[in-house]
């Protein structure tokens, strides 16, 4: 759960930063990152997610440097939403795996306890 909170906080910080680049390059960079994360995110480690957050911060700096049309803002928002969806999915998947693991351990603990008690 700490990983999930950490990732969410860093992702939020990354999107709130500012600065440089060409008009369309920043959108293209964001799209490439989103596509990569959608394709490979299920296998990412905490270090991989930290790298994603670092790249988000750099892209956000580029985005803040330029003016965009309403359509471009919508595209940027869609890309950020897709990225947030992948991150959320990863958090939920990993949380579910932890819950299942804890349940299995509790089941085994109960079974072991009963075996020890009844011997």
- Give percent above pLDDT 70 in the chain: 65
Question: How far apart (Å, rounded) are the C-alpha atoms in residues 79 and 27?
Answer: 9
pLDDT at 87 over 60: yes
3-state SS class at 78 = helix
pLDDT at 6 over 50: yes
Contacts of 89 (CB under 8 A, 6+ apart): 41
Counted residue by residue, the chain has a size of 119
pTM score over 0.85: no
Provide the pLDDT confidence category of residue 12 given band limits of 50, 70 and 90: low
CA dihedral (13, 17, 23, 29) in degrees, to 10, reads -30
């Amino acid at each position: 759960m700490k990983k999930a909170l950490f990732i969410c906080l860093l992702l939020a910080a990354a999107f709130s930063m500012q600065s440089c680049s060409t008009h369309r390059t920043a959108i293209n960079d964001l799209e490439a990152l989103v596509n990569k994360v959608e394709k490979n995110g299920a296998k990412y480690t905490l270090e991989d997610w930290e790298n994603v957050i670092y790249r988000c911060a750099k892209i956000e700096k580029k985005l803040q440097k330029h003016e965009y049309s309403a359509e471009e803002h919508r595209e940027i928002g869609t890309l950020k939403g897709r990225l947030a969806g992948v991150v959320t999915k990863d958090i939920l998947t990993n949380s579910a795996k932890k819950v299942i693991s804890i349940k299995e351990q509790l089941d085994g603990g109960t079974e072991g306890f009963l075996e020890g008690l009844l011997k």
